[in-house]
Amino acid sequence: MCFRCCELNRRSLLIGGGAAAASLATGVAQARIRPADMHPLIGPGFRPTDRDEIGLWQQMDRVEEEVAGSNLLIKDPELIRYLQQRIGEVGGPAAKDMRIYLARIPDFNAVMFPSGFSVIFSGLLLRMRNEAQLSGVIAHESGHFLRRHMIRMWRDMRRKSDIFAIGAMVAGVAGAGAGVNTGDITQLAQLGTILSLFRYNRVMEAEADAMGVRLLAENGYPPIEMANTWEQLIGEQDASARHRRKRRDRGYSLFSTHPAPGARMADLKVSAAEATVPGRAYDNRRGRYLQAISPIRKTLLDDQVKLNDPGASQYLIETLARDGWNGLLRFYEAEVWRLRNRSGDDVRAAQGYAIAVAYADAPPEAWRWHGLSLMKAGRQAEARAALSRYLSMQPNAADAPFIRQMIS
Amino acid sequence: MRHLGIALVLALTVPVAGCVQTRQFADLQFTPPQGDYRLLVMRPDVTVNSVTTGGMPEPRADWTEQARANIIAALRAQQAERGGKVQIMARRNELRGVSEDMVADLERLHGAVGNSIALHKYLGAYLPTKPRRGLDYTLGAEAVELGRKTGFDYALFMHAEDNIVSRGRVALQVLGIAGCFVGFCAPNIGGGGQFAYASLVDLKTGEVVWFNVVQTGSQIAGLKMGDIRSPAGSAQLVERLVGRMKPGYEIRRARERR
């Protein structure tokens, strides 16, 4: 149950096989689910009572133990408390039961596990422009838990694979008795079953989106921010693809587990308008968000620019800068150019570093690269000044002895 | 006549369709621990699934608990016979002087090394540079440190899973076999069976000195080759898994020469 996952356990589907008839698979179009119709299906302190769900939770306890002990986790206690507070806000009735983990993975995603713990990828925190956007994703993930999506999906899969197995066997035996080979029909039924499983998954995602909009609005966040998140993601994917001279994967086919980003954004916009109460004040709480992520924002940017995806990185930095440039963003903008290394990029990067150091909050590395660029351009005196500034800001840097030797 | 032929083939295949496979590898110099040794059994990883009519394994919490308790009891009994002192871990934090994280790291490291052993020794991706070397894997300094801190001679890592075929799937199997008489034959839809492995690590050197895999299963749903939910079934699996440790190749050869 992830926010935008691409991986899919095809093996489980193949093991599951298909169901009785292709008629189970219906058309591609699918109606929007209204936020007002989304009610939580569980209350506070939910524990499973059905046999299949107890088994699932027992497995998940082991998974959570592994996740909690993973060395990929960012363990900044302040930040984790902040994230936990967000789930405590938009988590509906299960707010106090859900747990949240932050993994250092520079990608845009979040996952909710069946037993109510969620893993947020660090790349998500980089992309969110304010607390409302972050809470939107968390509300979506909470929606999966509140609507009991994992167990419902499991049961759907089990039911359909049972029907398929029985159907195929009965059809085979009956067909053989009547002297007909039912192999083709069985294959068609299998495809039908698989398609219907994918469709069920997309319905769940749409439900989580609607539930998320509702939770967001109820907590005083502008619900339109959920649609904005998608707009940003689509823009980023377009920019990344354009840079590689490719076209963005439209992300929609019969085999998609998630609705297409474009369709999701459109539905979210309508839902947001529906959930917004006229006259009520909504606040995206941007200041509080930036303060919370400030200890790791540099790491987030650093991880992103090193992905070697200049199209996406540049788009991201420009999107974040829509709320105002600062030294950190300017420095990483120049880093994108330097690492891209096309013709003219060195000059562009040098200018970028020069702009970055004009900001009071420029990171030490901006001074370092500014100095090195100046040195390359033959402006020794200015280079020395910039590099001395770097050394004074970061006297214990790994490369400090080299830099000292360069300017001595 | 045709139907009779199918039935005959079926009658021949049914008894051989179930099987128990074990295959062990050992360090060339390995001698099975005997007498006064101290063995630490890392938390056994046990799962019991119910196989649905459609063939999906569904985890069952109650069966898993039951099987884990049985496996632990069986291991204890089996090791007592050999004369070793055994501690079986139930949680990661119960070793004095060893942090939970260190145990977790070792478990994960073993997971990676175990996968590598499975890939190169069992799944056919044999390493041409390592012929006749027996088991040539190590968990390194961290395992040695665990031994030093706790005083254990060996650590045993263990995984066991059992898939119990549901009634619905057995009914489907019966239908599949019955179908043979009208010409639609599905005598082996399968789905059940056990898979287990055990890995013995020498905590003095950090090396994985012995590894064994047990696989039982039948092509016919409902035909069981063991069931770890019962004490007897668990004892049987433990016996198959760690009961007959063979010494390493060089030790065996030296014994034969004598």
List alpha helices for A69-121, DSSP H: 77-90
What share of chain A has pLDDT > 90, as a percent? 60
A35 within a domain of the structure (yes/no): yes
**B172–A contact, CB cutoff 8 A:** yes
Please state, rounded to an integer, the average pLDDT across all residues of chain B: 84
Mean of the pLDDT values across residues B152-158?
94
Rounded to the nearest 5°, which phi and psi values hold at B237? -65, -45
CB spacing of B182 vs A176 below 8 angstroms: yes
State which residue of chain A sits closest to B62, comparing Cα positions.
A55
Domain boundary among A233, A258, A275: A275
Which structural domain range is residue A383 located in? Answer: 325-407
Over 50: is that where the pLDDT of B221 sits? yes
CATH number at residue A382: 1.25.40.10
Question: Mean pLDDT, chain A, as a whole number?
Answer: 86
In total, how many domains does chain A have?
A: 2
Claim to verify: residue A108 and residue A238 sit in the same structural domain? yes
Structure tokens at B69: 């308790």
Q: Which of A244, A275, A306 is the last residue in one of the domains? A: A275
- What DSSP character marks residue B244? S
Q: Is residue A286 part of a domain?
A: no
The β-bridge partners of B23 are: B213
Question: ipTM of this predicted complex?
Answer: 0.78
Nearest to B175 among A66, A163, A173 (CB): A173
Judged by average pLDDT, the poorest of B15-19, B27-31, B254-258 is B15-19
Domain-located, residue A306: no
Where do the H-state alpha helices sit in chain B? 2-16, 61-82, 100-117, 141-150, 167-179, 231-238, 249-257
The C-alpha of B51 sits at a distance from chain A's nearest C-alpha, in angstroms, of 10
Please give the share of chain B, as a percent, with pLDDT higher than 90.
Answer: 32
Residues A127 and A232 in one domain: yes
Cα A37 off chain centre by: 25
Cβ atoms of residues A165 and B54 within 8 Å: yes
Quick check: A51 pLDDT over 80? yes
Give yes or no for a contact between A357 and A386, defined as CB atoms under 8 angstroms apart.
yes
- For B188, phi then psi, to 5°, come to -140, 70
Which pLDDT belongs to residue A4? 60
- H/E element, A101: strand A99-103
| Amino acid identity at B51 | V
Q: Is the pLDDT confidence value at A149 over 60?
A: yes
- Based on the fold, state whether residues A401 and A253 are members of the same structural domain: no
Mean pLDDT of A283-307: 95
Residue A271 has a pLDDT of 94
Residues in chain B closer than 8 A to A169 (CB atoms) = 172, 175-176, 179, 186
Q: Which residue of B has its CA nearest to A57?
A: B61
Residue A253 domain-assigned? yes
Q: Provide the whole-model pTM.
A: 0.81
Same domain for A403 and A266, yes or no, is no
| Predicted local confidence at residue A9, as pLDDT | 41
Nearest to B58 among A66, A158, A172 (CB): A158
Inter-chain residue contact B59 with A55, CB threshold 8 Å: yes
Instruction: Tell me if B59 and A69 make a contact (CB, 8 A cut-off).
Output: no
Token output for B23: 């295959």
Give a yes or no: residue A58 inside a domain. Answer: yes
Chain B residue whose CA is closest to A48: B61
Q: What is the DSSP string of B33-98?
A: --SS-EEEE---EEEEEEE-TTS-EEE-HHHHHHHHHHHHHHHHHHHHHHT-EEEE-SSTT-STT-
Quick check: A16 pLDDT over 80? Answer: no
The shortest CB-CB distance from B54 to any of A164, A173, A176 is to: A164
Average pLDDT over residues A229-233: 91
**For A151-195, how does the pLDDT look when each residue is reduced to its tens digit (9 = 90+)?**
898 888 888 888 888 888 778 777 777 766 667 767 777 777 776
Structure tokens at A141: 């993930």
Whether B125 shows a pLDDT value over 50: the answer reads yes
pLDDT at A6 > cutoff 60:
no
| CA separation, residue A94 to residues A45, A88, A102, A140, A145 (Å) | 7, 8, 19, 13, 8
Q: Could you read off the pLDDT of A96-137 as tens digits, one per residue? A: 999 999 999 998 989 899 999 999 999 999 999 999 999 999
Contact at 8 Å (CB) between A353 and A371?
Answer: no
pLDDT of A268 reads 92
Q: Is A302 part of a structural domain of the chain?
A: no
Q: Is residue A36 part of a domain?
A: yes
What is the predicted pLDDT for the residue at A297? Answer: 95
| Beta bridge mates, B21 | B215
State the burial class of residue B191 (Cβ atoms within 10 Å of its Cβ: 0-12, 13-18, 19+): buried
Side chain identity, residue B154? Y
- Domain extent listing, chain B: 2-7+20-257
> Which chain B residue has the Cα nearest residue A71?
B105
- What pLDDT, on the 0 to 100 scale, is given for residue B31? 86
Task: Give the pLDDT score at A202.
Answer: 82
Q: Which of A103-117, A150-164, B121-135, B225-239 has the lowest mean pLDDT?
A: B121-135
Summarize pLDDT for A329-373 with one digit per residue, the tens.
Answer: 999 999 999 999 999 999 999 999 999 999 999 999 999 999 999
Residue A313 lies in a domain: no
Q: Does A51 touch chain B (CB under 8 A)?
A: yes
The answer for residues whose C-beta is within 8 angstroms of residue B219's C-beta and 6 or more apart is B13, B17, B18, B187, B188, B189, B190
Distance from CA of A171 to the nearest CA of B (A): 10
pLDDT, residue A19, reads: 34
Region B221-237: what's the mean pLDDT? 84
How many Å lie between the alpha carbon of B79 and the closest alpha carbon of chain A? 27
- Nearest by CB to B60, which of A15, A51, A172? A51
Mean pLDDT of A292-307: 95
pLDDT tens digit string along B240-252? 998 888 888 888 8
Structure tokens at B236: 């049987």
**Which range, of A45-49, B32-36, B43-47, averages the lowest pLDDT?**
B32-36
Residues of A in contact with B61 (CB under 8 A): 51, 54-55, 57-58
- Do A139 and A21 lie in one domain? The reply is yes
**B61 closest CB neighbour out of A58, A157, A160:** A58
| Shared domain check, A368 and A231 | no
